Structure 1
Amino acid sequence: MEFDDAVRTRRSVHEYSDEAVDEGTIEAVFERVRYSPSSYNLQPWEFLVLTEDGNRERLQEVAYGQEHVADAPVAVAVLGNTDPSAHAEAVAEDQLRKGYLPDEEAKEGLLETIDGMAERDETENRVWTTRSTALAGMTLMHAARAEGLSTCPVGGFDGDALQAEFDIDDQYEPVMLVTMGHAAPNAADTNTPRKFRRTVDDIVHREEFDPTEAELEDEVLTESYATQ
């Protein structure tokens, strides 16, 4: 699927068919996810992928009983490592080998900078990892759509309960959940009108910032609502 089609036809789907998602497709999705950008290329994300019924039901419990968390054949907990230095050595060494850093001294300077980040307070590093990990979460949804799958981001869940239920270390910030699978025939898809989106003029500010309020205008519906 072309990227433009993947973006325009993506929907937040709550109803999934019984069709399983094979391991090769899941692997292909995450092969794309790993190319997501991140601060200093530190790649703080980790993903807990749940395909077994019992485990998705456990996840549903910490997601306030939302049915699609268990109904989808795949559920993903998107986690961010709050320690910026966790992968720093490999990242810095890679940059040295490929010429992004001129010498060993520059590498050590980068590592010192990242160590300084790691020493910040917990709140700062939770925000830091959420920013980068959320990028990977969006890549996950677009990559899944490119494979013909549907997804839904889930923000309603108890992060502490998630960590306790699945024995996730406190070092990891639960950023979001994502359900994934083949949409049921009656699910929201490209044959239904797309929900309201603000216009480019509403969201883009040139040279100076001037907040705007959303205005709903009549749209001309076409046979393919995905383009709206």
Structure 2
Amino acid sequence: MDYDEVVTTRRSVHDYADETVDRETVEAIFEEVRYAPSGYNLQPWEFLVLTDDEDRERLQEVAGGQEHVTDASAAVVVLGNEDPTAHVDRVLDDWVEKDYLPDEDAKEAVRENVEGMADMAEDERRVWTTRSTSLAAMALMNAAWSHGVASCPMEGFDAEALVEEFDIGEGYEPVMLVTLGYPADDADDVENARKFRRPVDEIVHFGEFDPVADGEGEQAATTPATGDD
């Protein structure tokens, strides 16, 4: 698909076909996900992909019993590493090798900045990793749809229970869950009319921030939506 088709036709799908998304397709999707941007290119994301029925049932238990966790072919736990320095050496060595940094002194200066981020309070580091990891999660959903695989982002889960159930090490933030699978032929998420989207002239502010109060955007009620939830 062309990019505009991907972003305008992607849906958050809850109803999946029985067809399995094979591992080759999943790996091809993540091959594209890894190009997502992140602060200092530190790539603080990890993805736990669950395809076995038993594993998805375990995940369903910590996700409020939501049925699409087990109906989907795969469920992905999107994790953010709260340590900004986890991959900093490889990242900065690459910067020097490719002339993004002029020399080792410049590399050390950037490294000091990253180490300073590691000293942030825990809540600040959680915000940092959530920002970058969310970019990768959106890349995952768009990449999946470009391969014909539907997805659904989920924030309804018990993070502490998830960490314990899947023995996730300390320092990783469960940012969201994403289900992956081929949509059912009669999936309402795909067949129904598109859900409401606020128009560009309501959400974009040039030069001055002047938000539109709820109910004031009359054009919003008649402007066709071009996305999904």
| TM-score (norm. length: structure 2) | 0.94
Using a 3 Å threshold, how does the CA distance of structure 1 residues 91 and 227 change in structure 2: closer, same or farther?
closer
Work out the CA distance in 2 between the residues paired with 1:190 and 1:8: 12
Matched residue, 1:73: 73
SS in 1 for 2:197: coil
Post-superposition Cα deviations, 1:181-220, rounded to whole Å, max 9, x if no partner, equal 0001121355421100000001100001011135442357
2:226 is aligned with 1:218: no
Amino acid corresponding to residue 222 of structure 2 in structure 1: D
Matched residue, 1:152: 152
Matched residue, 1:106: 106
Q: Point out where structure 1 has 5 or more consecutive residues left out of the alignment.
A: none
Contact 1:9 1:189 in 2 (8 A): no
* Segments of 4+ moved more than 4 angstroms: 225-228
Contact 1:193 1:226 in 2 (8 A): no
Give 1:10 deviation, angstroms. Answer: 0.7
Work out the CA distance in 2 between the residues paired with 1:170 and 1:227: 36
| TM-score (norm. length: structure 1) | 0.94
Matched residue, 1:26: 26
What is the number of equivalent residue pairs in this alignment? 224
Using a 3 Å threshold, how does the CA distance of structure 1 residues 126 and 219 change in structure 2: closer, same or farther?
closer
Matched residue, 2:178: 178
SS in 1 for 2:188: coil
Q: Point out where structure 2 has 5 or more consecutive residues left out of the alignment.
A: none
- The CA RMSD measured in Å over matched residues stands at 1.6
Matched residue, 1:2: 2
Work out the CA distance in 1 between the residues paired with 2:121 and 2:226: 44
Work out the CA distance in 1 between the residues paired with 2:50 and 2:163: 14
Matched residue, 2:115: 115
Aligned sequence identity (%): 59
